[in-house]
Amino acid sequence: QLFTTEKLNRLGPAVIYKRFVSHRSVESQPIPRCNSYLSAYAFRGQPGKERLPLHLRQELETRGLKVFNPRGLALRDIPIVQQFLGLVLECIDPAPSPGSRGVGQQAAFLTNDAHDFMDQWRVAAQSMLTFNSRGPRGDLLSDKVDRWRRFAVHGRDSESEWPVLDICYSFLPWFSRFQDDPEAQVYLEAITRTVAAASTFSGYKAAIQRDEPHRTRSINGAIRDVLNPIAENLVAVDEEIMPSVPRDRLNIMTIHQAKGLEFPLVIVDVSSDFKTNHRTQRFKRFPDEESSVVLLEDDLAAVTPVGPARQRRSGMQRTFEDLIRLYYVAYSRPQSLLMLVGCQQGLQFRTSIKNVAKFWRRDESWAWVSDPRLRPPPVDADLLPFIRI
């Protein structure tokens, strides 16, 4: 059962913790044993499965509650970012026809992945131009695009150069979310940070030149040094720019981000990704082999002062301790209420999906079903006390 706005307001700020906060999963075989596996593999053109953060966002929005999760999607996948960067791309390197690429993009020596995402950005921008909305001052979006095209394509302007950052800022009146929405402000900061970084190392300082041959070269440089890093998913958002989490939103963060913080209500996702007892995800819930961190510790033990002390415990013991320590951080964050959530298969009493987060022991015993002192569960115990969302 989801909380209403009134109940959440009485509880105060709330937060949900996950090991990963992405809206979609990315599946591949095999899944490496590391916390960055979501970004390690990707199938072009095949979005991953929807995960709990996205489902939770959609359900809460129908109830008038918003979510703060800037890391839910890669920057290049966010619709408002695609429209924004697509407009910039269409200004400095317009496509001769819908569905085609600009001359500058073709000459920039980009990867296929970067080309694919820039093509998506163009489609998003062209769709926005179809509506051709007016800005707060009454000027049409197409007029603004044509103004920059006259400069970037034909070199018609009194100024000898225009920074890419100025082109970006000129479209802000058509994107009110960048001004009002906390998540969108984080996205905008990542974009402007990328442009500012390019201005320090790019050959033309992230500025489009008026005169040839520098105009063509500066356009290629802007595509390669400004747009390409975002298209390659090399730019991450920085949530630290927000002095505090918006109080009217449910904050979704990783457990590592939660260190040192406390909230009245904490929701910990313990099993929404574990529908089966598959070997490829056991390292996240009940390891059956030593983790990569433990293997690295063993390799360095002989040349470090703390090596012998660490090796007093077995590799599997240290692997389990690392996982237990992770969930201890999550479970010790709430001030008033802790909720553990997950899928039905992982939460029922007779589950075969072992999970440290649900207090399974390393010897594969579970107090809920293994302790003879406990009364046997009732017939309908599989449905209580958990309620699926």
- Flag whether pLDDT at 261 surpasses 90: no
- Please tell me whether residues 290 and 362 are part of one structural domain: yes
Q: Is a pLDDT exceeding 60 seen at residue 230?
A: yes
Q: Where are the alpha helices (DSSP H) in 136-264?
A: 141-154, 164-169, 177-180, 182-201, 214-222, 228-231
* Cβ count within 10 A of residue 179: 11
The number of distinct structural domains making up the chain is: 2
- Cα–Cα dist 6/167, whole Å: 43
Q: What's residue 49's pLDDT?
A: 75
Last residue of a domain, one of 232, 266, 292: 232
Is 172 a member of any domain? yes
Whether the bond between 372 and the residue before it is cis, its omega within 30 degrees of 0, is no
Q: Is 195 left (phi over 0), alpha (psi -120 to 50) or beta?
A: alpha
Confidence band of 363 (pLDDT split at 50, 70, 90) = confident
| 374 or 229, greater pLDDT | 229
Are both 208 and 228 inside the same structural domain? yes
Is the pLDDT at 330 greater than 70? The verdict is yes
pLDDT tens-place string over residues 55-99: 888 898 899 888 888 887 889 999 999 999 999 999 999 998 888
Flag whether 388 is in a domain: no
Q: Is 323 in the same domain as 368? A: yes
User: Cα separation of 18 and 56, whole Å?
Assistant: 12
Q: Is residue 389 part of a domain?
A: no
Tell whether 149 is covered by a domain.
yes
What are residue 339's DSSP bridge partners? 267
Residues 68 and 84 in one domain: no
The per-residue pLDDT for 27 is 41
Contact 156, 101 (CB under 8 A): no
The domain boundary, picked from 181, 211, 232, lies at 232
Tens of pLDDT along 29-56?
333 333 332 332 233 445 567 888 888 8
pLDDT at 148: 94
Range of the domain at 158: 75-232
pLDDT value of residue 324: 93
Residues 166 and 151 in one domain: yes
Q: Is residue 288 part of a domain?
A: yes
Asked whether residue 214 falls in the same domain as residue 346, the answer is no
Q: Looking at the structure, do residues 79 and 62 belong to the same domain, yes or no?
A: no
Query: How does the average pLDDT of the chain come out, rounded?
Result: 82
Residue 222 lies in a domain: yes
Give the start-end residues of each E strand in the chain: 14-18, 66-68, 161-163, 207-209, 249-254, 263-271, 334-342
pLDDT classification of 345: cutoffs 50, 70, 90 = confident
Does the residue 206 lie in any domain? yes
* 39 and 145 assigned to the same domain: no
Q: Is the pLDDT of residue 276 over 70?
A: yes
Three-class SS state of 263: strand
When pLDDT is averaged across residues 222-237 and rounded to a whole number, the result is 94
Residue 144 and residue 43 share a domain = no
- What integer pLDDT is reported at residue 351 of this predicted model? 81
Tell me, yes or no, whether 374 lies in a domain: yes
Question: Do both 320 and 299 map to the same domain?
Answer: yes
User: Does the pLDDT of residue 386 top 60, yes or no?
Assistant: no
Confidence tier at 350 by pLDDT (50, 70, 90): confident
Listed residue (227, 238, 245) closest to 110, CA to CA: 227
Chosen domain end from 175, 197, 232: 232
Same domain, 67 and 211: no
Of 34, 27, 21, 38, the closest CA to residue 233 belongs to 38
Specify whether 142 is located in the same domain as 252: no
Indicate whether 214 pLDDT > 60: yes
